[in-house]
Structure 1
Amino acid sequence: MAGVMIIVLLCLSAGTMLGVQGEDPYLFFTWNVTYGTRSPLGVPQQVILINNQFPGPNINSTSNNNIVLNVFNNLDEPFLLTWSGVQQRKNSWQDGVLGTNCPILPGTNFTYHFQVKDQIGSYFYYPTTGMHRAVGGFGGLRINSRLLIPVPYADPEDDYTVILNDWHTKSHTALQKLLDSGRSLARPDGVLINGKNAQGDGKDEPLFTMKPGKTYKYRICNAGLKNTLNFRIQGHTMKLVEMEGSHVVQNVYESLDVHVGQCFSVLVTSNQAPKDYYMVASTRFNKQVLTAKGIIRYTNGKGPASPELPEAPVGWAWSLNQFRSFRWNLTASAARPNPQGSYHYGSINITRTIKLVNSASREGGKLRYALNGVSHVDPETPLKIAEYYGLADKVFKYNTIQDMPSTKIGKVVSQPNVLNQTFRNFVEIIFENHEKSMQSYHLDGYSFFAVAIEPGTWTPEKRKNYNLLDAVSRTTIQVFPKSWAAILLTFDNAGMWNVRSEMWERAYLGQQLYVSVLSPELSLRDEYNIPDNALLCGKVKGLPKPKPYTI
């Protein structure tokens, strides 16, 4: 009886903080973050474990669930986790990035409270402090549809999470020292599928099993540092059904380019001869191709997987054409009980256009990456906390970059990079890549409509090529070399939200910024107050909390 009372009180406490209805279920987790030794590429190395797991445990939730997750940091360094793609409505306090949160200090804990409100889909979590992402601390996060919301395909026999990574055998501290010294990361040492790479020597255990004649759902995410990875399954095709929170037109693919930070859900039917088959992930757009294998075993299988692997595509034009084949499923229901197609984003007037141009600089002998000439630096006081306490002017300046920079980016300046955005404005953002390297960008707190990717430079006339009918609503978009990408969204989620390169070397060295979205009413209808358990650091450490927002 006492245990039941404790659970009820916890639910009431968390529900009060989140401002959510009591009938939405709560999921409670306790995670212990530690170092451990693993040999993912055959070489023993230090990795980050969560509850002694590498990759970390999957979070299996349903739309509108409330997540209460207590993280104990047993590392010797500060630590944070972000929930990539989870649109925490009115709640950037739980975003887990250094612009909104003080890190969890060694030997301490912090409890995240957030709701996966009106959302479905396949996502992953990962560390945002230092180079921790390079050695673990990542895992899958799925949000299932509620039972009353129909899903546009039959229930699969089982639901599997596939985490892909390019991988270095150097420690995260060695990689961080390399970047801090002004150099860039070398090419990875290999590729992993769920922390492993099958050797094909007959000793490999299967990652997944399939019953003959059944259909399975695979959620495929690229949690790596730098490389696009092409994913395919020997002898099988994949029917794409969802990406980053949106049901899509169900095209069939032999392989998928999964750019850094992106997630896809596919259906795979076990309709081949009963034996083992390889799932394959290999690097793209590099001279030297690195490949990982993982075994899928039929339950009545009678033989090993063939050593002959399916080939990957060549060139990025193929990848661009694949992007153009992705379409929003306008007849499917969303997380809310209303059809997705009812939101006609193509008929909304654009109120602001922002062009973000990435660049690299070696001024002063050290490598820095920038957006519109500003290389972001995290201040000691997180941006959101400084803003909430009325100390923004002592920590950072708003709008240090131009919305439409000149074609040539001049000298790179290192400082906090914060854009001030009007609440509920409908905005166009152009990511323009003048470099020869691949780019991938993620926006926290929102889904956006990925309306175009094209070679060359952007001009207003390019808008005639936008997909204004059924572009996929998602959270991450790639930009090919010497190309641009356009997204459209309404900034209706109050908070401080991170726009970052998913190439972690670039994010670590400044290729990111924050968007401050303030509600003029300063009301709980638009944004939650700072949580009672919020960690405080920098200029606000020891200060009393400001007067809270009210209804």
Structure 2
Amino acid sequence: MGKIFVALFLCLSAVAMAEDPYLFFDWKVTYGTIAPLGVPQQGILINGQFPGPKINCTSNNNIVVNVFNQLDEPLILTWAGIQQRKNSWQDGTPATMCPILPGTNYTYRFQVKDQIGSYFYFPTTALHRAAGGLGMIQIHSRELIPVPFDNPADEFSVLLGDWYNKGHKTLKKILDSGHSIGRPDGIQINGKSGKVGDKDAQPLFTMEAGKTYRYRVCNVGLRTSVNFRLQGHTLKLVELEGSHTVQNVYDSIDLHVGQCLSVLVTANQAPKDYYFVASSRFLKQGFSSVAIIRYANGKAPASPELPAPPPDNTAGIAWSVNQFRSFRWNLTASAARPNPQGSYHYGKINITRTIKIANSRYVNNGKLRFGINGVSHSEHETPLKLLEYFGIADSSFTYDLVKDEPPQGNNVIVGPSVVNATFRNFVEIVFENREKTIQTYHLDGYSFFAVGIEPGTWTPEKRKNYNLLDAVSRHTIHVYPNSWAAIMTTLDNAGMWNLRSDMWERAYLGQQLYLSVLSPARSLRDEYNIPETQVLCGAVVDMPKPTPYAGT
């Protein structure tokens, strides 16, 4: 009998210690002709697809993506919103890793640790994001974790956003010459732009009457906020950037650049075609696109009368702010919680540092630049993370050019922008938008609590208006014109992490910085060693690798 118990114990121990499952992908990145708005141009395809292949995985899965770069330019892919615990080495930004050179390949390895929800990947090099190379990442809860809604009949991925008919190389030349790329030409929905009454249009998705479907929707554009709605149907919000939400019902939802969410749609209307509508927000001259959602066995075309968009003036901003405030975290849902565990009691944690960030537009030496607190980030020939790891950062760039308060005046410093941050500090970051255009920011490596958005100027007294109970844990925050937004997070994820404008023109021209979060212990408990296969470039190519981190 004792032998049976020993054998059973050993089997259970082996199961408990088993690694989480691995998913493997081989991606070939090439150029190809695409025409999202009907104008043929050079696009970036992954395995011949635009949008690219979907990564469909489960919380804690290990993801291995072997990327073959067959472009004529260096390439880096990033995984927006995937926290990459202890692994900024493969975060996919120019300051953390060397690019994949033309004709070579590189294998990304990361774990979707303690995460669920909807995300997307895209290229961070040059203006490649304007050409494609992007796709959906959907992370499901593990089977033992109950989800706060019934399993949908199917899941549909929608990648939408503004689009330019100029090619990505032309757009890059415009920015490099010191000018703005200007207004987009339209909106694409999964690589196409539809018009009302197009008899040749094929359905985006097909639903069966009486069933409920999950739509995962991401704004993958370069600069334009959008509003989306589905003719004749309501949208039940169930997930926002990796967090289950209180399940409010909306007629339409604003989605700002870089943001993703999930809604449930019940096919409870007469069997026919309906229009999925995406329209621009807060532009003087707006534009829209439609796609057909078809009911199985439906025979009638969609009505040409589209559901009205929300107001698009000052009243529209108030409408959008109120909608943001209605988004609440579902605290009763069983799901992956943000790291560190317990930080969802964020309202009871003392703030150890407040960083106020103000975006600005500059003309430097006759060329357009954007910046944060008087600093416009520029890339170094060697990734900043490698300079830091190899111990030559101090002789290569200056830390803390960005101060915790915006400076007076409109002078600008152009250079690599890295802010020293203290490991495990609980920080408050306040974004002040002093311009007339909406802003969106993204922070790699973390989820944060979006505790407040208001018009006007932030002061410490504004903290009394924060949502300190059930603000959604997310990784992007938008800031309305002449307004502020505040977030809170614990800097427990060691590495170097990008805080950037998600308006890609602004990020490319310097509206970004990096947070250097170093663990004093230099232990594997806090950060992984540089991967053995990591490509080296620039100043560190011939340098001996530092002593690896120890510990567990």
Please indicate, yes or no, whether the TM-score normalized by the shorter chain is above 0.5.
yes
> What's the counterpart of residue 325 of structure 1?
326
Aligned counterparts of 1:292 and 1:480: Cα–Cα separation in 2: 24
C-alpha displacement of 1:363: 2.9
Query: Per-residue deviation at 1:545?
Result: 1.6
Contact 2:156-2:215 within 8 A present in 1 as well? yes
- 8 Å contact kept, 1:440–1:479: yes
CA distance in 2, matches of 1:228, 1:147: 35
**Partners in 1 of 2:181 and 2:227 — Cα distance?**
21
For residues 228 and 431 of structure 2, the distance between their equivalents in structure 1, rounded to whole angstroms, comes to 25
Question: What CA distance in whole angstroms lies between the structure 1 residues aligned with 2:61 and 2:501?
Answer: 29
From 135, 157, 160, give the equivalent of 2:156: 160
C-alpha separation between the residues in 2 aligned to 1:338 and 1:441?
A: 20
Matches within 5 A, 1:183-202: 183-199=179-195, 200-202=197-199
Question: Could you report, residue by residue, the CA deviation over 1:327-364 in whole angstroms, capped at 9, with x for unpaired residues?
Answer: 11111112259999883110100000000110000132
* Counterpart pick for 1:246 among 243, 248, 271: 243
1:400-426 deviation per Cα after TM superposition (whole angstroms, max 9, x unaligned): 1211224x3431110011110110000
Q: Is the 8 A contact 1:331 1:341 kept in 2?
A: no
RMSD across aligned C-alpha pairs, in angstroms? Answer: 1.5
The structural deviation recorded for 1:544 is: 2.4
Distance 1:337 1:230 in 2: 28
SS at match of 1:424: coil
Q: Deviations over 1:64-113 (max 9, x none)?
A: 00000000000000001100000110000110000101111111110000
8 Å contact kept, 2:84–2:445? yes
Judge conservation of contact 1:332–1:339 (CA < 8 Å) in 2: no
Q: 2:297 — aligned with what?
A: 300
Structure 1 unmatched ranges of 5 or more: 1-19
Q: Does 1:99 align with 2:95?
A: yes
Check conservation: 2:114, 2:338, Cα contact below 8 A: no
Q: Which residue of 2 aligns with 1:283?
A: 280
1:394-450 Cα shifts (integer Å, max 9, x gaps) = 2222111211224x3431110011110110000000011111111000000000000
- Tell me: CA distance 1:417–1:337, structure 2 relative to 1, closer, same or farther (3 Å): closer
SS at match of 2:269: coil
Aligned residues: 531
Q: Which SS does the other structure have where 1:522 is aligned?
A: coil
Look up the equivalent residue of 2:286 and give its one-letter code.
Answer: V
The one-letter amino acid of 2:418's match is: V
Q: Normalized against structure 1, the TM-score is what?
A: 0.95
Give the share of equivalent positions with the same residue, in percent. Answer: 70
Per the alignment, residue 136 of structure 1 pairs with 132
Contact 1:330 1:340 in 2 (8 A): no
Distance 2:191 2:536 in 1: 34
Question: Do the aligned partners of 1:333 and 1:339 also contact (CA within 8 Å) in 2?
Answer: no
Aligned-partner SS, 1:55:
coil
CA displacement at 1:543 relative to structure 2: 2.1
State how far apart, in whole Å, the 2-side matches of 1:396 and 1:446 are.
Answer: 25
Kindly indicate whether the alpha-carbon contact (under 8 Å) linking 1:359 and 1:409 is maintained by their aligned counterparts in 2. no
In 2, Cα distance between equivalents of 1:409 and 1:260: 29
C-alpha separation in 1, matches of 2:334 and 2:302: 39
Do residues 235 (structure 1) and 232 (structure 2) align?
A: yes
Q: Which moved more, 1:495-504 or 1:309-318?
A: 309-318
Alignment of 1:169-180 (within 5 A): 169-180=165-176
SS at 2:523's partner residue? coil
Task: Give the structure 1 partner of residue 202 of structure 2.
Answer: 205
Give the distance between the partners of 1:531 and 1:483, measured in 2 at CA.
Answer: 42
Runs of 4 or more off by more than 4 Å in structure 1? 336-342
- Work out which of the residue numbers 269, 272, 293 in structure 2 matches 1:272: 269
User: How far off its partner does 1:120 sit?
Assistant: 0.4
The question of whether the paired residues in 2 share the 8 Å contact of 1:367 and 1:509 is answered with: yes
In structure 2, list runs of 5 or more residues that go unmatched.
1-15
Please state if 1:334 is matched with 2:335: yes
